[in-house]
Chain A
Amino acid sequence: MQQIAIVGYQQSDCVSWAGATNEVELIMPVLRRVFDQVGLANAQDVDFVCSGSCDYLQGAAFAFVAGVDALGAVPPIKESHVEMDAAWALYESMLKIRMGHAKSALIYGFGKSSPGELPIVLSQQLDPYYLAPQWVDTISLAAMQARLMLDQGLITERDMAEVVARSRGNALNNPHAQLSGDIAVDELLAQETYVSPLRKSDCPPVSDGASAVIICTVEQAIEWGVPYAIISGIDHRIESHNLAMRDLTDSVSTRQAAQGAGMADGSVDVAELYAPFSHQEIILTRALGLGENTQVNPSGGVLAGNLMMASGLSRIGELFNRITSGEARRGIAHATSGPCLQHNLVTVVESA
């Protein structure tokens, strides 16, 4: 099968409020940097462009179409969009390349979540008959999930705080992180609960920003003469929209996606997991069977900065950075969508 390489990754800073900037103004600087990284002039130099975003976030209808203004689409380009995290835009782009319809693709995701009340906005992704009309927000759903785990003795609040402390510590090395610092577990545990049993630190910050990745065939990467890493597998699985039918203490779909992507075919040096809530990182680590040989979320993960619709793509990009810098030989990136880890995508990336 056609081998596909990652050749570029850039992300904006995660900021709590991107000020007056519109989507084009958010995207353009990130695209410029990723084009420069690979030595391309603009979107005319790739065969396909695919983006991930959700207009509900900033409350602007067709914001994703306006985002195309950042590309330079004259003469016309081949372009597509997913109303999902841009990790799924990367999935679509891989299909495009594997079908032989493109040799290279630019993928970008962007989100300006600050204009709305994000947990409430996300309640509208629930099923429209029973749950969405009740406005069940994402934090409350995650809190119920954490409660299940605590009451079954699967985790302790200290386990959750340890995830947060490691995230903040790792984020000290991530210049784009929103929350970072040395913080003791006991200090976190001393904080008030926010939506019990979650403390604010167990929840991701609301972030504005964008990220971009360029992928291509291995031949194209060699021709461009840039460092690259190989995507050796990718798969995604989704669980029922009915939360009552799921085992919320496990992530079956993540495990199946990892199997489909071939995670077990080699060592996993690094795992970048899209775990918006601290207890969800524990669910994912266990579902994937990750052990001490795997470094989890060296970037700090999304507890350090959560760009809705871009964070999943950024996980793949962060993994690319670890591999091309030589820190890791092989790893996985995970992306999620929907409440309580409903829909999960796993990408395996290896050194060239």
Chain B
Amino acid sequence: MSEEREMITGIEAPIYLQYKFTAGSAPARFLSQVKKGVLTGQRCPGCQNVYCPPRGSCAACGLPTEEEVVLSDKATVQSFTIVAIPIPNNPIQPPYIIANLVPDGSNISFIHLMSECVNEEVHIGQRVQALWKPEEEWDYAMDNIRYFKPIDEPDVPVDRIGTMPVTGWEG
């Protein structure tokens, strides 16, 4: 009879790989503007949609996006969730809000944090504005914006979210 062996259910084989990662030409242009405290998008020459942050193409049309568009740091809540569980190594304490926000002048949302708000009162169509870090801390990163906070403006009707001009309600 074969001798009894302890079952091996796993081995440790950690993987360490080093990369010189690049974001891409379009994201690099975007991040260079973010470092100056400006949000930008890129317009599709086909469907005219403005993407923020841009990846270099219109995902719908498959066309390169070249034209750079300056956006507002005011935005509209397109969707949101209240995070109730702590995420390891994340300094932000729950409960907090992650939201899909469409900046004025863009047609596509990006994801960022919301704060200075009553979590239970956050709603789709709500108007918010970026709270930037002090200028001396700005880097090539989206967390130059600490979070977005509600502003005293009328809600955007659901069917108009994603169509606000860069001038917002003034436009």
Interface residues, chain A, CB within 8 Å of chain B? Answer: 19-25, 28, 31, 42-43, 56, 58-60, 66, 68-74, 114-117, 120-121, 124, 128-129, 132-133
In the bound complex, CA of A21 to CA of B56 (Å) = 9
Whole-angstrom CA separation of A148 from B95 in the bound complex: 63
What's the least CB distance linking A131 to chain B, in Å? 10
CB of B19 within 8 A of CB of A58, answer yes
CB of B60 within 8 A of chain A?
A: yes
Once the chains bind, are B23 and A74 in contact (CB under 8 Å)? no
Docked-complex contact B21 and A73, CB < 8 angstroms: no
Can you offer 21 A-B residue contacts whose CB atoms are under 8 A? A19-B22, A20-B23, A20-B25, A24-B56, A28-B64, A42-B62, A43-B62, A59-B21, A60-B21, A69-B56, A69-B62, A74-B59, A74-B60, A115-B19, A115-B22, A116-B19, A121-B17, A124-B15, A124-B17, A129-B13, A133-B11
Known A-B contacts A69-B57, A72-B61, A74-B60; A21 and B17 likewise in contact (beta carbons under 8 Å): no
Known: A31-B62, A69-B55, A70-B57. A25 touches B24 (CB 8 A): yes
Are B20 and A115 touching (Cβ within 8 A)?
yes
A-B contact sample (5 more), CB < 8 A, given A20-B24, A71-B62, A116-B17: A28-B56, A28-B64, A59-B19, A68-B59, A115-B20
Residue of B nearest to A56 (CB): B17
Across the two chains, which residue of chain A brings its CB closest to B15? A124
Q: Give Cα distance in the complex from A71 to B57, angstroms.
A: 9
A25 touching B19 by the CB < 8 A rule? no
A28 touching B19, Cβ below 8 Å: no
Does B18 have its Cβ within 8 Å of any Cβ on chain A?
yes
Q: Is B117 an interface residue (CB 8 A)?
A: no
Q: How far is the CA of A130 from the CA of B168 in the complex (A)?
A: 60
Q: How far is the CA of A28 from the CA of B21 in the complex (A)?
A: 20
A132-B13 contact given A58-B19, A72-B63, A115-B19, CB 8 Å threshold: yes
Asked whether A128 lies within 8 Å of B13 as measured between CB atoms, the reply is yes
A23 to chain B, nearest CB (A): 8
B residues in contact with A124, CB < 8 Å: 15, 17
Q: Which residues of B contact A56 (CB under 8 A)?
A: 17
Minimal Cβ-Cβ distance residue in A for B20: A115
Number of interface residues of B (CB under 8 A): 25
Contact yes or no, A24 B21, CB < 8 A = no
Q: In the complex, which residue of chain A has the Cβ closest to the Cβ of B11?
A: A129
The residue of chain B having its C-beta at the shortest distance from the C-beta of A41 within the complex is B62
Residues of A within 8 A of B55 (CB): 22, 24, 66, 69
Q: Which 10 A-B pairs have the closest CB atoms?
A: A72-B62, A22-B24, A59-B19, A74-B60, A69-B59, A133-B13, A115-B19, A25-B56, A20-B22, A24-B57
**At the interface, yes or no: B37 with Cβ under 8 Å from chain A?**
no
Interface members, chain B 1-49 (any A CB < 8 Å): 11, 13, 15, 17-28
In the complex, which of the residues B11, B18, B59, B64 has the most CB atoms of chain A within 10 Å of its own CB atom? B59
Which B residues touch A58, using CB under 8 A?
19, 21
Given contacts A60-B21, A115-B19, contact A20 B28 (CB under 8 A): yes
Residue in chain B with minimal CB distance to A115: B19
- For the complex, give the distance between the alpha carbons of A116 and B18 in Å: 6
B47 to chain A, nearest CB (A): 8
Given the complex, which residues of A lie within 8 Å of B25, measured CB to CB? 19-22, 25
Q: A56-B17, A120-B17 are in contact. Are A22 and B23 (CB under 8 A)?
A: yes
CB pair B59 A73 closer than 8 Å: yes
B51-72 interface with A by 8 A CB criterion: 55-64
A87 to B28, CA, bound (A): 32
A15 → B minimal CB distance (Å): 14
| Bound Cα distance A208, B149 (Å) | 43
Say how far A148's CB is from chain B's closest CB, in angstroms. Answer: 27
Residue of A nearest to B24 (CB): A22
Question: Closest CB of chain B to A125's CB: distance in Å?
Answer: 12
How far is the CB of A26 from the nearest CB of chain B, in Å?
Answer: 9
CB atoms of A28 and B17 under 8 A apart = no
Shortest distance between the CB of B15 and any CB in chain A (Å): 6
Q: For the complex, give the distance between the alpha carbons of A329 and B7 in Å.
A: 59
B22 nearest CB neighbor, chain A only: A20
